[in-house]
């Protein structure tokens, strides 16, 4: 790598790492696995080692990620007495031996005398607890390592965190008058599953994993909700020195006697072999634990050695984390296919040399998009790592550069649609390329018909094979054509008898009574999913008023943001769309919300503008209806025009912050009822 390439690559990596930091720490919604993230950081570290003068002070290799969003949050920001550092980490047992050798070299200890404590690395969110005279006085999140958010009110509701310790003089090892102790707040799997089930029922996006759920919960504004969610806290690090505690092992024992929850899964190890045995055991056994773990932390036992070894800017030299890998396999990338979806979005898919991964043979894996391919510099003939995430199709997460054959070239992304040869386009803020040939591109046409017929939309019987045949025989090139089908026209279909015709036509007929909200969803307007369609239908009442709504009117509808408003307006501006929608209307589909008389109860909230967020004791929709029926308005997003921000449980800190900044009155459900 020459210097100019290094400059360019450092810029790319920094940008990617910062973005992933934000996804992980602030949004609690990571887009890549820890392993993929660590690969990016390692690559950056590697380049910075090679070109030290290019390593700037602000490099993400020198700082821990931050969970602090922006400058003001609903929580008070407090400086940590002792910075909260991160840990160096490795996925490689050889690097553990390096860690061990470095310690022998840099500390005054003989190989025979060294001892390590191996602990589980619980996968949650870090917390720093301060006690004075045995009483919990403050709880801070890690934040950016220097400043944390004060979440004491929430932490007091976590049952495994003692708010009052037993009297010190009755304990075998007394605790200091003032001390700090740190640990990990986790959400056990059973609580996590309950929470996600409830989210699904409330039509809210689920948390990707227990870590995000724990971190998200800790920053809720309702302590009651925090309590309901059943978080737990395992402590692992006593920050304050005290007599009688000279080693990590003693610290954990003492903490346990003081009333803290300490993971029982720990081992005092005399050498690398014992550490490895612990790693291997827990790599298998962790699947049987009730909480998520992502590795093992190995710490030098004697505090005297901690002092000798000291810290780097980011992490202590006396500890390291060995991280478990998600199940991965390495295989060769043979070719890349490009799939075009209903909305025209293009997804690159890798064709691989078949390889066994967690019990199934994998031949294909997602490559996400052009940026991801470029970021990892994935090339044809490379040996790539694949990993199974939450999705059914595995994904390519990186390249084994040591196995790259000579003379490979950077991957050239396609510029034209593989299905219709139209020049692809890419919006700067979108990750994927898309084919703009909405009317003529076959997978887009077939995809729209399939979506229209799907169960949650018009629920018309018939699978992909029927759609292919209708399209190939020119019987349906848009969903409206379904309503012009006759037994005669259907005769041309292969493997198709009178019974099939009867069933299909009957189900098409039945679809005419599908309610307006589902018809609206069936139209397949980009970004209008089931929930949004329901809201638009309720708000506008009919296709007529939706179709003629201005952008300003659209954006006022509940939960409609800029992206959706633009998309809806654009859809109805296209004469081709209005034409086939008109055909649907003529066919007799429901284009009006059935009259569920919206009573006007009072004008108590006349012209008051509300933004609602979070969950309440009753469905959100009911609250909206209450506001409307008392003359109020419900807006999608907080702006200077908002009069009240009605914040329920689980309201995110970003929204609270925005409301606070704009000086909007924030009320909870009780205050809302009082207002009425």
- Pick one of 68, 85, 397, 623: the residue that binds ligand IVH (CB under 6 A): 85
User: Phi-psi bin for 159: left (phi > 0), alpha (psi -120 to 50), beta?
Assistant: alpha
- Nearest Cα to Cα of residue 536 among 593, 606, 574: 593
Kindly tell me which of 144 and 559 has the beta carbon lying closer to ligand IVH: 144
Provide the minimum distance between the beta carbon of 149 and ligand IVH in the complex, in angstroms, as a whole number: 15
Provide the minimum distance between the beta carbon of 297 and ligand IVH in the complex, in angstroms, as a whole number: 4
Provide the minimum distance between the beta carbon of 121 and ligand IVH in the complex, in angstroms, as a whole number: 4
Kindly tell me which of 319 and 435 has the beta carbon lying closer to ligand IVH: 319
Residue nearest to ligand IVH (CB): 126
Provide the minimum distance between the beta carbon of 324 and ligand IVH in the complex, in angstroms, as a whole number: 13
Q: Are 584 and 479 in contact (CB under 8 A)?
A: yes
Q: For residue 427, what are its two tokens?
A: 């919006």
- Pick one of 116, 131, 175, 236: the residue that binds ligand IVH (CB under 6 A): 236
Provide the minimum distance between the beta carbon of 103 and ligand IVH in the complex, in angstroms, as a whole number: 15
Provide the minimum distance between the beta carbon of 237 and ligand IVH in the complex, in angstroms, as a whole number: 5
Q: Classify residue 308 by burial, with Cβ atoms within 10 Å: 0-12, 13-18, 19+.
A: middle
- Pick one of 20, 229, 237, 395: the residue that binds ligand IVH (CB under 6 A): 237
Q: Are 133 and 177 in contact (CB under 8 A)?
A: yes
- Pick one of 20, 80, 121, 539: the residue that binds ligand IVH (CB under 6 A): 121
- Nearest Cα to Cα of residue 81 among 181, 215, 168, 162: 181
Query: Could you identify the residue written with the tokens 């400086």?
Result: 79
Distance CA 145, CA 625 (A): 44
122 binds ligand IVH (CB under 6 A): yes
- Pick one of 119, 149, 180, 387: the residue that binds ligand IVH (CB under 6 A): 119
Whether residue 121 lies in the annotated active site: yes
- List binders of ligand IVH among 309-328 (CB under 6 A): 316, 319, 321
Kindly tell me which of 312 and 548 has the beta carbon lying closer to ligand IVH: 312
| Number of shown-chain residues binding ligand IVH (CB under 6 A) | 14
Distance CA 130, CA 312 (A): 24
- List binders of ligand IVH among 281-300 (CB under 6 A): 297
Only one of the segments 73-81, 115-123, 393-401, 537-545 lies at the binding site for ligand IVH (rule: CB under 6 A); that segment is 115-123
Distance CA 286, CA 516 (A): 49
Kindly tell me which of 314 and 512 has the beta carbon lying closer to ligand IVH: 314
Provide the minimum distance between the beta carbon of 122 and ligand IVH in the complex, in angstroms, as a whole number: 5
Quote the DSSP letter at residue 509.
H
- Pick one of 59, 86, 257, 507: the residue that binds ligand IVH (CB under 6 A): 86
Query: Could you identify the residue written with the tokens 């459900």?
Result: 669
- Nearest Cα to Cα of residue 462 among 475, 515, 346: 475
- List binders of ligand IVH among 157-196 (CB under 6 A): 184
Q: Are 379 and 404 in contact (CB under 8 A)?
A: yes
Only one of the segments 119-127, 250-258, 328-336, 458-466 lies at the binding site for ligand IVH (rule: CB under 6 A); that segment is 119-127
Kindly tell me which of 85 and 458 has the beta carbon lying closer to ligand IVH: 85
Long-range contacts of 662-669 (CB under 8 A, 24+ apart): 662/638, 664/611, 664/638, 669/616, 669/617, 669/623
Non-local CB neighbours of 145 within 8 Å, separated by 6+ positions: 63, 64, 66, 80, 83, 84, 85, 86
Kindly tell me which of 119 and 225 has the beta carbon lying closer to ligand IVH: 119
87 binds ligand IVH (CB under 6 A): yes
Query: Which of 50, 81, 121, 633 is an active site residue?
Result: 121
Only one of the segments 79-87, 246-254, 412-420, 486-494 lies at the binding site for ligand IVH (rule: CB under 6 A); that segment is 79-87
Strands ordered across the beta sheet of 293-300? 89-90, 319-323, 293-300, 116-122, 266-269
Q: Are 346 and 366 in contact (CB under 8 A)?
A: no
559 binds ligand IVH (CB under 6 A): no
126 binds ligand IVH (CB under 6 A): yes
Q: For residue 61, what are its two tokens?
A: 């290799």
Kindly tell me which of 25 and 236 has the beta carbon lying closer to ligand IVH: 236
Q: Are 570 and 577 in contact (CB under 8 A)?
A: no
Query: Could you identify the residue written with the tokens 């976590």?
Result: 158
Distance CA 152, CA 296 (A): 28
Provide the minimum distance between the beta carbon of 29 and ligand IVH in the complex, in angstroms, as a whole number: 18
Q: How far apart are the first and last CA of the chain?
A: 68
Residues at the site binding ligand IVH, with contacts judged by CB under 6 A: 85-87, 119, 121-122, 126, 184, 236-237, 297, 316, 319, 321
Catalytic residues: 121
């Amino acid at each position: 790598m020459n210097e100019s390439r290094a400059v360019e690559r450092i810029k790319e990596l920094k940008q990617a790492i910062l973005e992933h930091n934000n996804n992980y720490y602030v949004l609690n919604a990571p887009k890549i696995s820890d392993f993929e993230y660590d690969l990016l950081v390692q690559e950056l570290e590697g380049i910075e080692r090679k070109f030290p003068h290019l390593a700037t002070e602000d490099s993400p290799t020198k700082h821990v990620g931050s969970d602090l969003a922006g400058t003001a949050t609903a929580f008070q920001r407090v400086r940590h007495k002792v910075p909260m550092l991160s840990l160096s980490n490795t996925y490689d047992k050889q690097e553990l031996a390096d860690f061990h050798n470095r310690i022998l070299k840099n500390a005054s200890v003989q190989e025979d005398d060294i001892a390590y404590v191996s602990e589980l690395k619980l996968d949650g969110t870090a917390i720093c607890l301060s006690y004075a005279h045995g009483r919990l006085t403050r709880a801070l999140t890690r934040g950016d390592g220097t400043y944390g958010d004060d979440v004491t009110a929430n932490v007091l509701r976590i049952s495994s965190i003692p708010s009052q310790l037993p009297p010190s003089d009755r304990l075998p090892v007394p605790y200091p008058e003032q001390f700090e102790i740190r640990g990990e707040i986790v959400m056990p799997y059973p609580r996590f599953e309950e929470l996600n089930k409830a989210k699904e029922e409330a039509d809210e996006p689920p948390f990707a994993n227990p870590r995000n759920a724990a971190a998200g919960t800790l920053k809720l504004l309702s302590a009651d909700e925090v309590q309901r969610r059943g978080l737990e806290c395992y402590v692992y690090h006593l920050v304050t020195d005290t007599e009688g505690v000279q080693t990590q092992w003693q610290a954990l024992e003492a903490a346990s006697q003081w009333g803290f929850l300490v993971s029982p899964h720990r081992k005092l190890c005399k050498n690398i072999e014992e550490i490895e045995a612990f790693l291997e055991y827990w790599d298998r056994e962790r699947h049987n634990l009730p909480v998520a773990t992502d590795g093992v932390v190995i710490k030098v036992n004697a505090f005297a050695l901690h002092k000798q070894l000291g810290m780097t800017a980011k992490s202590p030299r006396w500890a390291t984390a060995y991280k478990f890998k998600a199940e991965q396999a390495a295989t060769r990338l043979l070719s890349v296919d490009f799939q075009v979806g209903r909305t025209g979005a293009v997804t690159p898919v890798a064709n691989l040399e078949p390889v066994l991964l967690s019990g199934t043979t994998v031949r294909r894996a997602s490559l996400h998009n052009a940026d991801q391919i470029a970021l990892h510099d994935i090339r044809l003939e490379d040996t790539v790592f694949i990993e199974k995430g939450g999705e059914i199709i595995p994904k390519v997460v990186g390249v084994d550069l040591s196995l790259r054959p000579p003379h490979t070239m950077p991957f050239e992304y396609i510029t034209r649609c593989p299905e219709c040869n139209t020049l692809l386009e890419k919006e700067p803020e979108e990750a994927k390329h898309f084919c703009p040939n909405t009317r003529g591109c076959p997978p887009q046409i077939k995809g729209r018909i399939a979506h229209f017929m799907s169960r949650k939309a018009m629920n018309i019987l018939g699978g992909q094979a029927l759609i292919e045949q209708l399209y190939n025989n020119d019987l349906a090139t848009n969903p409206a054509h379904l309503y012009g089908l006759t037994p005669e026209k259907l005769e041309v279909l292969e493997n198709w008898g009178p019974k099939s015709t009867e069933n299909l036509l009957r189900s098409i007929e039945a679809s005419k009574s599908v309610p307006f909200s589902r018809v609206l969803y069936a139209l397949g307007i980009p970004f209008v999913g089931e929930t949004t369609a329901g809201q638009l239908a309720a708000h506008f009442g009919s296709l007529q008023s939706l179709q003629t709504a201005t952008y300003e009117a659209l954006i006022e509808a509940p939960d409609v943001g800029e992206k959706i408003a633009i998309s809806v307006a654009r859809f109805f501006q296209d004469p081709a769309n209005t034409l086939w929608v008109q055909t649907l209307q003529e066919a007799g589909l429901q284009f009006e919300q059935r009259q569920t008389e919206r009573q006007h109860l009072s004008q108590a909230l006349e012209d008051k503008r509300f933004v609602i967020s979070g969950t309440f004791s009753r469905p959100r929709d009911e609250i909206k209806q209450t506001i409307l029926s008392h003359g109020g308005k419900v807006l999608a997003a907080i702006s200077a025009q908002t009069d009240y921000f009605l914040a329920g449980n689980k309201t995110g800190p970003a929204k609270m912050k925005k409301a606070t900044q704009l000086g909007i009155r924030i009320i909870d459900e009780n205050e809302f009822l009082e207002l009425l």
